Amino acid sequence: MTRKKESIKEELLALVDEIGETVLCSESEKDRIRALCDELLPHTAEPRPIENQQAAEGVWRTRFASFGAKHSDNQPMQHMSSLMLQSFGNLPKVPSQVRRLNQEIEQTSRAYNNVVYVSNEQGTANGIIVMAGQYSADEENPQRYSVAFQSVSFNPGDGQSEQQLREDFGMDADVPLAKEFRPPKLHSDIVFLDDDLRINYGSLGGFYVLERISEPGYSVQLN
């Protein structure tokens, strides 16, 4: 018997809440989350999201991530990383703790940005990494956003100067905080989408549960 969408969503988000963001989930928990995501797919409100781009526009907070990439797949949402790993190697190898991962999508510019909120290794100071990308349509797959990340910037938090950011993260004055680079070929399939929940399956084998939040965009202007 097919379950109702709200019942599946409720179980999925309850499990995500139970696991939390600081503890690595077990393989059985990850398998259960993936099974619930798969169960939601027929209930998507937007089976062809690339044709209704406004539906995916907004600020989305990542609630659960199975990253896929080798360097971060066996990590909880909040984990020790580095500026280098969070920027495709375009920022220096400075230890940092991932605190929150948002995605910001804006249809006019076709922006598809990863906004990574990090703290320094000691947890005493914050910074914000913006991986700026643009999406394009895939003619053969209306769920697929082909994404080209083209630049990265490392930004001070509220009330923090660039100089203070460098000092807090141990970065020399001559180290660039922004860089453009050749876009890697990536894609993200939006396999479920409704007013407040989005599920993505990524090109590196990861899958993500994201919840729409009402805060303004950090890297994009939203109407």
Nearest CA-CA partner of 32 in 46, 18, 48, 51 = 18
Name 137's bridge partners.
145
Q: Is residue 147 part of a domain?
A: yes
Q: Is residue 85 part of a domain?
A: yes
pLDDT for 2 equals 74
Largest CA distance in the chain: 62
Q: 151: pLDDT confidence band, cut at 50, 70 and 90?
A: very high
Cα–Cα separations (whole angstroms), residue 208 to 75, 84, 114, 183, 211: 13, 22, 13, 22, 10
Q: Is residue 75 part of a domain?
A: yes
Domain that holds residue 191: 5-212
Q: Is residue 96 part of a domain?
A: yes
Q: 113: domain CATH number? A: 2.40.128.280
Q: Is residue 220 part of a domain?
A: no
Query: Among residues of the chain, what percentage have pLDDT more than 90?
Result: 87
pLDDT per residue as tens digits for the range 120-141: 999 999 999 999 999 999 989 9
Mean pLDDT throughout 188-200?
Answer: 97
Q: 69: pLDDT confidence band, cut at 50, 70 and 90?
A: low
- Mean pLDDT over all residues of the chain? 94
Q: 70: pLDDT confidence band, cut at 50, 70 and 90?
A: low
Q: Is residue 170 part of a domain?
A: yes
Whole-model pTM above 0.85? Answer: yes
Q: Is residue 217 part of a domain?
A: no
Q: Is residue 171 part of a domain?
A: yes
pLDDT per residue as tens digits for the range 87-108: 999 999 999 999 999 999 999 9
What is the total count of domains within the chain? 1
